[in-house]
Structure formats: C-alpha cells, structure tokens
Amino acid sequence: MTEPVLVVGAGPVGMTLALELARYDLDVVVVDRKRELERRGSRAIVVARHALETFARLGCAEPMLAKALAIARARTFFRETELFCVEFPRTQPGEIPLFVNLQQTYTEQTLYEHVAGQAEVRWSTEAVGLEQRADGVRLRVRTPRGEETLRGSFVVGCDGGGSAVRKLAGIAFDGRTFHDRFLIADIRAELPFPNERRFYFDPPVNPGRQMLIHQQPDDEWRLDWQVPADTDAEQERASGRLDRRIRDVIGDAPYELAWLSSYRFHERIARRFHAGRVFLAGDAAHLMAPFGARGMNSGIEDARNLGWKLAFVLAGEAPERLLGTYEGERLPAARDNVRITSATMRFMAPPTPLHRALRNLILRGSLPFAPLRRFVNSGKLATPAVYGGGAGLVGRLAPSDAVQRRLGRTFTLLCFCRTADEQQRAAAAARAARIDLQTVPPEEDRAPGPGSDPLTNALAREYGVNGAGAAFLVRPDGYVAAEFPEVDAEHVRATVSAELRSQ
C-alpha cells in the first residue's frame, strides 16, 4: 500500500494540492502548526480566473463565486488625475470572471470544508525533522501530545515564506526584502464607491507615496497606504492618525475597523523546488510583492502542476523523472512573476535617486503628454504561466471554462470535428491512448436548446480553428500539450507516452 503524501501547510496552496491528490484517490495527510483556520483580514484578496477554474474542477468554486465580488475595472491615478482605466470583460451567466475580490478567510474555509472529507488534517502539528529514504520520507512533528514521526511517500512544503520544510531540506531562499512599509486597514462601511481597484500615485491624502483601495464582500474595504519604514500600526491606531487617514478617504461615513496590519514586501525564490522526495509550493517556494495578485494565484498553479504528476508516478503510470518537470516549469514561472513584480516595485518605490527622478518625470509628464502613461506601472495583474516555447496554444492554459470544468483525471483529447467520420476517429484515438475525449461536433450538428453541447463556434474561435478540423491534447492540469491538424490514433498515443516520460 502506498504511503500518504504529506502536505505541510493548510493554507490555500496546501489544501488545493490535497484536493488535487484526493481526486486520484490518494491518501493525503495535511499538517499545520496553527491550532485552526485563522480569520485574518484581506490577505490574498484578488483571485484570478485560472485559480477559480482549478477550484471549479475540484468542485469547490460555487461558494467562492457566490461570495466574491467580480472586479469591474482597475483605475490608476496620479494625484487627482486619472491616467488610465483597464475595463475587465463582463461575464455571461455561468462564466467565471477574470478577477474577483474575496478574502483569503473565505477561500480557506471553502477549501477546508472540501478537504476535511477527503484528506486527514492535523492541526497544532509542527514539522521539526525530515529524513529522506529510498522508499519514502519520515517527517518528525511536534504536537501537544509530544513528538512523533509520520511516514510518507513524498512531502510537499506549502508552509509559507518561513517554510520549515524548505529549511529542513537545506534549500536556499535567495532574494531580498524591500525597505518600504505598507499599512493596511480593512474597514466595514457602506460607501458609494464603485466596485473597482483604485491605485493612486502621490494622492493628496498620502503625499509623496502611494495608496490603494479595494472593495471586498460584506461591505468591507481594504485601504492600503505606503508609509515611512518605521511606522507602527498600533501606534497609528492609538495616536488617532489611523482614523485621520481613513477619514481622508471616506469622509464622515460611519465605519468599523475590521483588521489592521503593516508589512514589508519580500522578493525571494527557492534555489530548488524539488529535492529528492521533497517539493516546495506557494510562498515556501517563492515570495513576491502583491501588486498584480501573483502570490496565491501562482501558488495554486504550483498545486495544479504538481498534483497530477505525483498521482501518475504513485500509480505507476509514469516514471519518477516526470516529477522533474515540476521544477522545470514552475521555477521559470516564478522567476517571470518576480521579474514583473520587481519592475512594479521599482516604479512604486524607486531604489535609487536616479530611479526616483525617472519615475517622477514619467508621472508628471503623463499629465500633459498622454503617451507617457503607458510607462506608468501600478501592477500587471496575474496571467497563467506559459511553459516552454511551443507554437500557438501549446504550453498555454487551454481556453474556456467549459473545457477546464470537464477535465478528468487523465489527458483529454479536445477535437473540433468537421464530419461524423472525424468524430469516430477521435473516439478511437482516445480509446487507444486511454484518455478522455471532448468533441466539438460539426456545425450542422450543434443543435441549440436544452441538452446541447456548450462547446460552440465561440470556442472554436478561441482555439483558432476557424472552421477547419483540429485536435488538442490537454494535460490533466489544463495545459495544452500538443496540437494535431489531423487525428491519428498512433500519433496521439505516442504523444501522451512522451509527455509522461518527459521526452
């Protein structure tokens, strides 16, 4: 009998990984040194569509979407002048929005309600020792009952920036911490502000620095100020300065303070994401500034990438070298995210007088000269990672909620069929390769009305098919592995085999 996968950290990334593994009927033990889930303010509030698609596939997106607020637009200001506005597409009924605002508290609670019935979760359990063996791992943990040793097949550290697993594995965590500090206040208030992200450079209420406003569910608002490095959140509250800051934004409206915190940004990447039977995911593997919402969302990508690979290896359907592709794909993705967020931080908090002079020149010049506004960097919101240098859709997340929601536990052949004969060949190819099949039938067979297939002409346009027949091989994590102009059973089977053997 296969020993369980040990997941250290019961945050969004650890619980997502547990659900990914549980859908393959694997035993999973999640441990966390906390006593229980913590309700702590507006952490990781922006959830991207590709993360929500993962939650939808795992069967837990509905409560999140019911609670969340879809972000309508993102507006950027210099002082009191709007420089630009990014409008997000309106979603159709049943579609997943591009971005939503949802406090991490709700994300974690929903995940935990699903994990609790599918995996063992041990609270008040701290990892203090780790031993790798040829046949598995031994994780020594400290509990209220004393120390004990857990046996597992693999261990995955999803235990945040101070990861015990990373330290026990001896993996370096290279990078830096920014000097600048930010102050967050979550307030409950009924405000007339629209549902949008507002970013201010040098606003009158926080001169010389930045400010950010986000709406959240339950009439909560996140107010985020860049402040001097020595600012203490509790002193701000006790002195009345915090109330004055809030009043500068909301006026005389009544409010209740829901959460207060201050923080510095970190920019670090683990030197390895994979060492023997040890893996790192989420903040344990990479830390980045939150502007662009790349932290938790990229951690969810880590979980969806690693989950199916561990499952295939443990089931004997793929050799262990498949696990090396986790680091091969996710480490470059982390570096790309840090590169993007680092550029944002250089603009927001210039590290040298020269950087500051250039930033100020761009901001001031953007008022009379609109073309300069394209150089203003208030954060580029998260997009799904791209793996490798494949052409077209290869290496990219397969478009469409409809496709993502219907992915099973193995590869999927997505076929745009021109004829009934092509449909039959696609079905034969899927059977030969022992994979799932999704077909978009010939246009004349796409009957509207109840029971009709949701994969329509609009989907064909997303895939660039334009009326021609084509097929795509989609991995279990929703990424396109290959494109076939014509469906050939042997070619499909060989491609699946090559993917599993990392060739």
Mean pLDDT by 10 residues, the chain (503 residues): 92 97 96 90 88 94 93 91 90 86 93 94 97 94 96 97 96 89 93 87 93 92 92 93 94 93 90 97 93 89 97 95 96 94 89 92 94 92 86 90 90 88 89 91 49 58 76 95 89 93 75
* pLDDT the model gives residue 485: 86
pLDDT of res. 55 = 96
d(CA 430, CA 428): 5
- Is 0.85 surpassed by the pTM of this model? yes
Model pLDDT, residue 1: 63
Q: pLDDT at position 454, please? A: 47
Tell me 468's DSSP state: S
Cβ burial, residue 241 (10 Å; 0-12/13-18/19+): middle
DSSP secondary structure letter of residue 138: E
Count of CB atoms situated within 10 Å of the CB of 457: 14
Q: What's the pLDDT at 468?
A: 64
pLDDT of residue 331: 97
d(CA 316, CA 322): 11
SS3 140: strand
The pLDDT value recorded for residue 503 is 60
* Predicted pLDDT of residue 442: 57
> According to the model, what pLDDT value does residue 293 have?
83
Residue ranges and CATH numbers for the domains of the chain are: 5-69+97-175+267-342 (3.50.50.60), 401-500 (3.40.30.10)
Using the CB atoms, write b or e for 114-148: b if 16+ within 10 Å. bbeebbebeeebbbeebeeeeebbebebeeeeeee
Expressed in angstroms, the distance from the first to the final Cα of the chain is: 29
Q: In this predicted structure, what is the pLDDT of residue 191?
A: 87
Residue 95 has a pLDDT of: 84
Task: Identify any residues that bridge with 280 across adjacent strands, giving them in sequence order.
Answer: 157
